Amino acid sequence: MIFANPLYLWLLLLLLPAIVWYIMKQKKAQASLQVSSTFAFDKLPTTYKAYLRHLRFILRLGVVACVIVALARPQSTDKWENQTTEGVDIVVALDISTSMLARDFKPNRIDAAKDVAAQFITGRTHDNIGLVIFAGESFTMCPMTTDHAVLLNLLKDVQCGMIADMTAIGDGLATAVNRIKDGPAKSKTIILLTDGTNNAGDIAPVTAAQIAKSFGIRVYTIGVGTQGTAPYPVQTPYGIEYQNIPVEIDEFTLKQIASTTGGEYFRATNKDVLKNIFSEIDKLEKTKLTVTEFSRREENFMPWAMMALILLICEIVLRNTLLRNIP
């Protein structure tokens, strides 16, 4: 329910001082009679009129409230919405090699990437999205789905060390292509995020890019890592220690993958830059949405006006019959 004149509803606040005034008046209007003893009145029954003495005032408040609501013109609406969406098929290919534990991002690369990817997925309401993870090998963590709650739960469970270490960029990209190539959407996109160079796997990254191109799949590549050195976790006899190791990202290959497939290459040197990159990709890959809306409004003030009239008649009848005042 909506109101054509909602400002009138503020007049309902005037009922509060009216109630306070009535209570104060009742306290002052009580008649008193001094007698030597009330013993004779103790067992007298209380009549129903004692309980109904405030009914007239309540009815008057009801009349005023109903009139105010009627003046506000309550309306009911019927709305039909015909929505046609053309979703985008997206696969996020995420590097989970142990180098993603480097702490040049807060708290580390893998957690920062998961956080930003989750925000990106949440904003793509109508898209069919999947998740591929890779290190020394690759596999599908979540197939293409529009159930983003399931996808986000699986993304949350992703950790470094789930599969053999190393970095197989080509295998990760090929697995993503295999997942997305048969999708129903016309627009197909892969977002590949890595922090290293291809040093494992059976498929060369450029070969995987050619396969993606043949299926009309656009690949956006993101190199994750600061410039210079970054603190990497290293296992020592005394436990895990962090040592500054030079950041090595094969930007040439990542740029080649992007240019081959018609995508773009981005370099993320911190979490804020990574957020901006995903925001930029979000702008480039937008869902087409066409909405046709029909709306009908119906006036509903008449029931409130009738209720006010009925309450007023009841108050008049009671005032002249059961609750009549003695002059």
Segment 151-177 mean pLDDT: 94
User: What is the structure's pLDDT at 116?
Assistant: 94
Q: Which of 20-24, 71-75, 138-142, 296-300 has the highest mean pLDDT?
A: 138-142
Domains in the chain: boundaries: 1-12+47-87+298-327, 88-286
pLDDT at residue 82 above 70?
A: no
pLDDT at residue 83 above 60?
A: no
Task: Between 303 and 40, name the one with better pLDDT.
Answer: 303
- How much of the chain is helix, strand and coil, in % rounded to 5? 45, 25, 30
pLDDT at residue 291 above 50?
A: no
Instruction: Give DSSP secondary structure letters for 217-270.
Output: EEEEEEEE--SSEEEEEEEETTEEEEEEEE----HHHHHHHHHHHT--EEEESS
Half-sphere exposure of 103 (CA within 13 A, CB side): 9
User: What is the structure's pLDDT at 55?
Assistant: 85
pLDDT at residue 290 above 80?
A: no
Segment 225-238 mean pLDDT: 86
Segment 5-23 mean pLDDT: 88
Tens digits of residue pLDDT in 25-71: 877 766 666 766 666 666 666 666 666 777 888 888 999 999 999 99
User: What is the structure's pLDDT at 117?
Assistant: 94
User: What is the structure's pLDDT at 30?
Assistant: 61
pLDDT at residue 285 above 80?
A: no
Buried b (16+ CB within 10 A) or exposed e, 263-273: bbbbbbbebeb
Q: Which of 69-73, 74-78, 138-142, 270-274 has the highest mean pLDDT?
A: 138-142
Segment 143-171 mean pLDDT: 92
User: What is the structure's pLDDT at 283?
Assistant: 78
Task: Between 47 and 95, name the one with better pLDDT.
Answer: 95
Across the chain, mean pLDDT equals: 85
User: What is the structure's pLDDT at 142?
Assistant: 95
Q: What is the pTM of this model?
A: 0.62
What percentage of the chain reaches a pLDDT higher than 70? 86
Fold of 88-286: Rossmann fold (3.40.50)
